[in-house]
Chains A and B, each alone.
Chain A
Amino acid sequence: MAVESPNITADVIEASEFPELIQRYAVRGVPKTVINATVGIEGAMPEAAFLNRVVQAAREG
């Protein structure tokens, strides 16, 4: 997504190396995706549904 959009920063984070993030985002399983440090999505999600969440986050800023 970040390859396709100038407004997206996408980070992949190896969680076990950064335990403070596991705590901050209350990670109980992986993958866990966090949008703008607030919206959490556990596991995988269909592309269209995930995209809607991203667009919604961009509107709310």
Chain B
Amino acid sequence: MPLLSENDAQEIRKLFAERLTEPVTVHLYTQQASPLAVPSHQCQTCRETAELLAELAALSNKIKIVTHDLVTEADQAKRQGIERIPALVFEGKGRGTVRYFGIPAGYEFAVLIEALFDVSRGTTGLSPASRQQIANLPKPVHLEVLVTPT
């Protein structure tokens, strides 16, 4: 059974058509399902996150999903700074790095959709003054926003 209802899917398809200007690649870091996996080390939300992304990608030809395995593609994971899964890395017109860790469910689903829009367009709703202020930061800044799905 799909995670997105028929109505939601239709609505999102419309929004994507209106607001995705350039292609976005979402790198999904996950783990391969293995019969030998130790339960305590299993990724609880990886499968569902992958399903959700696949359903979203089916709604627009501008969204592409590339799936990586945290263990077998350790080098690539290290390059993108991924140490926990599920992880999403959004690649598009963004100048910095935008990532999401965990399943984007509940209220956070809207955050995922907005991230796709912003990375597609390479611009945000920040004020012109803010945009200018952060465009040339002297040193790297790492922002971590901790949220819960409800």
Contacts and interface: CB of A to CB of B under 8 A. Distances in A.
B138 A59 contact: yes
A3 B147 contact: no
B68 to A, nearest CB: 17
B130 A12 contact: no
Secondary structure at the A interface, as helix, strand, loop or mixed, is: mixed
B116 to A, nearest CB: 11
Interface size class on chain B is 35 or more
Contacts, number: 174
Contacts of B97: 2, 8-10
Interface size class on chain A is 35 or more
Nearest to A59: B138
B138 A8 contact: no
Interface in B89-109: 93-105, 108
Interface of B: 44-45, 81, 84, 93-105, 108, 111, 115, 118-119, 122-124, 126-127, 129-131, 133-149
